[in-house]
């Protein structure tokens, strides 16, 4: 004969599967409530235990190693391709190159870097982020070493042709390294994208500012070859170090990034426009501001120190704005404020004829050393905003997305750096430095208006508040567990 407990167990199981509540007698109900109270008390005690308190976030060894590798590569690569600014024009002119060709040699680097950034952003997942990172640095260092042998070219024509060829290859190599670096760092620090990327960019900016001075010293010490051999060798050594330092990640081949989906997002184009204009503005003064400062009786040493301060201020404030963007997520507001402040900076740098104020050394110093903080306020938040827009449209954050966004972001900056010197030189030659900077200020006003209107449409209008169809489809086809943001370790 079956016991009472056994008889009660059967209907309990049946009701459990049927979704209805099984009847229980008073003894079972009292026992169940007592057990539940005891379980709740145990849970309360467990919750109060200090062992369950969340530990402060600490970076893992792989994160630290990845960041160190990115910083080392940025330091070496940026310094290597900027060393020729001081002495190459002198040597090239002695070889018979015209001023136009010399300028094109410099801009060809930005041109190939812009094209390369977009291409690498698409195919990095296929080739592997780690491979592209290391291979790009190897090409960059190798091109620097090869550049040192240009002094042995038998004719002026071969010197000119190989100058362009090596410079174009160097742009492709450096764009591979920087794009892969940004993608890896972004994926490794998903909650601190702005801070991490801006720190790497600060290293690049400072290296780019220091490079010409080091190149000039090495040129005085050993001639044309020595700067390229030393800095090119330095890049190759750092690349060898990164081979062992960089975590063994990103070696698995995956599908290429969702370029078409990313380009269909309106916010991506708005941010790309802001980056493009900021790069044009920063590069437009490279061939012109030195002459303007010389007319104000600045010495060459003083101009060099101003350029060093220009890069230092931009790099430091880039980190500040990156940290703020990560913490507050108010990227659109930051871009608008930065665009307005940058417009004021360029109006005062001329100074613009619209202001009708005299140009003085004190004004030039104050403006030149504060302006980079404003332009970086436009550039840095755009990278964080791109990630936010992609996530809103339901694109998962993986190596494919970070590669595409890094490629687009770096490409926008590179294309702007290519267009900037031509725009600055042409406007200055035709209308004067004051009108040239006024035109650049107008570009920033245009960016400010576009970002403001787009933000109003996106956050205030019905179309902007509506959840994108791609995101709705993703949520409908995935479980709650699948919707949790997962960051793959295969970078």
Model confidence over 244-285: pLDDT tens digits? 877 765 445 566 668 888 999 989 999 999 999 999 998 888
pLDDT of residue 472 exceeding 80? no
pLDDT of residue 470 exceeding 90? no
Residue 130 CA to residue 253 CA, distance in Å, equals 11
Where is average pLDDT lowest: 139-148, 196-205, 316-325?
196-205
pLDDT of residue 22 exceeding 90? no
Q: Is residue 299 part of a domain?
A: yes
pLDDT at 24: 43
Q: Kindly report the backbone phi and psi dihedral angles of residue 301, in degrees, each rounded to the nearest multiple of 5, phi listed first.
A: -65, -40
DSSP 155: S
Q: What is the mean pLDDT of the chain?
A: 78
pLDDT at 491: 43
Judge if 252 and 289 occupy the same domain.
Answer: no
pLDDT tens for each residue of 410-421: 899 889 988 888
Judge if 223 and 86 occupy the same domain.
Answer: yes
Residue 85 confidence class, pLDDT cut points 50, 70, 90: confident
Choosing from 228, 256, 284, the residue where a domain stops is 256
Judge if 209 and 314 occupy the same domain.
Answer: no
What does the chain come to in residues? 491
Encoded tokens for 429: 């030659």
CB 379 within 8 A of CB 324: no
CB 144 within 8 A of CB 429: no
Q: Is residue 489 part of a domain?
A: no
pLDDT at 50: 43
pLDDT of residue 36 exceeding 80? no
Question: Which residues have a Cβ under 8 Å from the Cβ of 147 and sit 6 or more positions away?
Answer: 84, 163, 166, 170, 228, 232
Residue 6 confidence class, pLDDT cut points 50, 70, 90: very low
Q: Is residue 12 part of a domain?
A: no
- B/e letters for 442-457, b = 16+ CB within 10 Å, e = fewer, are ebbeebbebbbebbee
Judge if 280 and 333 occupy the same domain.
Answer: yes
Cis omega (within 30 of 0) for bond into 387: no
Q: Is residue 32 part of a domain?
A: no
Residue 445 CA to residue 346 CA, distance in Å, equals 11
pLDDT of residue 126 exceeding 70? yes
Judge if 201 and 291 occupy the same domain.
Answer: no
Residue 454 confidence class, pLDDT cut points 50, 70, 90: very high
Domain span at residue 378 reads 258-479
* C-alpha neighbours within 13 Å on the C-beta side of residue 13: 6
pLDDT tens for each residue of 207-230: 777 777 788 788 888 888 898 999
CB 170 within 8 A of CB 109: yes
Identify how many contiguous H helices and E strands the chain contains and give both numbers: 19, 0
pLDDT at 463: 59
In terms of pLDDT, which residue wins out, 64 or 194?
Answer: 64
pLDDT of residue 344 exceeding 90? yes
Nearest residue to 243 (alpha-carbon basis) of 109, 141, 118, 167: 141
Read off the CATH number of the domain in which 129 is found. Answer: 1.20.1250.20
Q: Is residue 215 part of a domain?
A: yes
* 44-51 average pLDDT score: 43
pLDDT at 220: 84
Encoded tokens for 345: 């900076």
Cis omega (within 30 of 0) for bond into 439: no
pLDDT of residue 190 exceeding 50? yes
Judge if 217 and 130 occupy the same domain.
Answer: yes
pLDDT at 478: 52
Judge if 374 and 233 occupy the same domain.
Answer: no
pLDDT tens for each residue of 437-451: 999 999 999 999 999
Judge if 214 and 286 occupy the same domain.
Answer: no
In terms of pLDDT, which residue wins out, 47 or 140?
Answer: 140
- CA 415 vs CA 145, 272, 284, 286, 445: distances in Å: 26, 11, 12, 15, 20
Choosing from 256, 281, 308, the residue where a domain stops is 256
Judge if 136 and 206 occupy the same domain.
Answer: yes
pLDDT at 424: 87
pTM for the full model?
Answer: 0.74
Q: Is residue 141 part of a domain?
A: yes
How many domains is the chain partitioned into structurally? 2
Judge if 227 and 266 occupy the same domain.
Answer: no
Judge if 123 and 68 occupy the same domain.
Answer: yes
pLDDT tens for each residue of 49-78: 444 444 445 677 777 888 888 888 888 888
pLDDT of residue 21 exceeding 60? no
Q: Kindly report the backbone phi and psi dihedral angles of residue 490, in degrees, each rounded to the nearest multiple of 5, phi listed first.
A: -90, 80
pLDDT at 338: 95
Question: Which residues have a Cβ under 8 Å from the Cβ of 37 and sit 6 or more positions away?
Answer: none
pLDDT at 355: 92
pLDDT at 2: 41
3-state secondary structure at position 162: helix
* 76-90 average pLDDT score: 77
Query: Residue 100, class by beta-carbon neighbours within 10 Å (0-12 exposed, 13-18 middle, 19+ buried)?
Result: exposed
* 133-148 average pLDDT score: 92
Nearest residue to 491 (alpha-carbon basis) of 113, 235, 127, 205: 127
Question: Which residues have a Cβ under 8 Å from the Cβ of 491 and sit 6 or more positions away?
Answer: 66, 129, 130, 183, 184, 187, 188, 249, 250, 399
pLDDT tens for each residue of 395-405: 887 878 888 88
Looking at the chain, the whole-number percentage of residues with pLDDT higher than 90 is: 22
Judge if 444 and 458 occupy the same domain.
Answer: yes
Q: Is residue 178 part of a domain?
A: yes
Choosing from 233, 256, 279, the residue where a domain stops is 256
Q: Is residue 50 part of a domain?
A: no
């Amino acid at each position: 004969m079956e016991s009472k407990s056994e008889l009660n167990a059967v209907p309990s199981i049946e009701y459990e599967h049927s979704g209805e509540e099984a009847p229980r007698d008073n003894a079972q109900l009292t026992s169940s409530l007592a057990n539940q109270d005891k379980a709740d008390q145990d849970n309360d005690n467990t919750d109060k235990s200090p062992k369950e308190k969340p530990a402060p976030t600490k970076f893992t060894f792989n994160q630290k190693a990845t960041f160190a590798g990115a910083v080392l590569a940025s330091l070496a690569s940026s310094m290597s391709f900027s060393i020729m600014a001081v002495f190459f024009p002198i040597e090239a002119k002695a070889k018979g190159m015209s001023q136009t060709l010399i300028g094109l040699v410099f801009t060809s680097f930005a041109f190939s870097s812009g094209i390369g950034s977009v291409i690498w952003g698409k195919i990095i997942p296929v080739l592997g982020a780690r491979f592209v990172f290391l291979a790009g640095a190897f090409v960059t260092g190798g091109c620097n070493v090869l550049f040192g042998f240009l002094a042995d070219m038998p004719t002026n024509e071969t010197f000119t042709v190989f100058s362009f060829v090596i410079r174009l290859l160097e742009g492709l190599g450096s764009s591979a390294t920087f794009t892969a670096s940004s993608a890896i760092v972004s994926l490794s620090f998903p909650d601190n994208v702005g801070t991490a990327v801006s720190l790497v960019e600060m290293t690049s900016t400072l290296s780019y500012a220091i490079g010409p001075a080091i190149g000039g010293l090495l040129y005085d010490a050993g001639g044309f070859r020595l700067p390229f051999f030393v800095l090119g060798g330095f890049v190759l050594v750092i690349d060898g170090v990164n081979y062992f330092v960089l975590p063994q990640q990103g070696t698995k081949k995956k599908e290429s990034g969702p370029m078409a989906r990313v380009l269909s997002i309106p916010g991506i184009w708005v941010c790309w426009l802001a980056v493009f204009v900021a790069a044009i503005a920063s590069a437009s003064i490279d061939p012109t501001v030195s002459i303007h400062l010389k007319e104000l009786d600045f010495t060459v040493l003083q101009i060099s120190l101003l350029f060093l301060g220009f890069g230092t201020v931009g790099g430091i404030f880039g980190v500040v704005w990156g940290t703020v963007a990560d913490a507050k997520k108010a990227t659109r507001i930051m871009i608008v404020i930065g665009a307005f402040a940058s417009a004021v900076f360029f109006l005062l740098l001329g100074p613009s004829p619209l202001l009708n104020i005299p140009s003085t050394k004190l004004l030039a110093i104050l403006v030149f050393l504060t302006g980079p903080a404003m332009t970086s306020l436009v550039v840095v938040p755009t990278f964080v905003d791109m990630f936010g827009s992609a996530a809103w449209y339901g694109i998962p954050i993986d190596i494919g997305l970070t590669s595409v966004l890094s490629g687009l972001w770096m490409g926008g900056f590179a294309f702007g750096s290519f267009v900037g010197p031509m725009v600055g030189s042409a406007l200055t030659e035709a209308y004067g430095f004051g009108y040239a900077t006024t035109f650049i200020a107008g570009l920033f006003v245009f960016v400010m208006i576009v970002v403001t209107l787009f933000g109003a449409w996106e956050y205030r209008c019905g179309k902007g508040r509506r959840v994108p169809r791609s995101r709705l489809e993703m949520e409908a086809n995935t479980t709650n567990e699948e919707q949790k943001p997962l960051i793959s370790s295969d970078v």
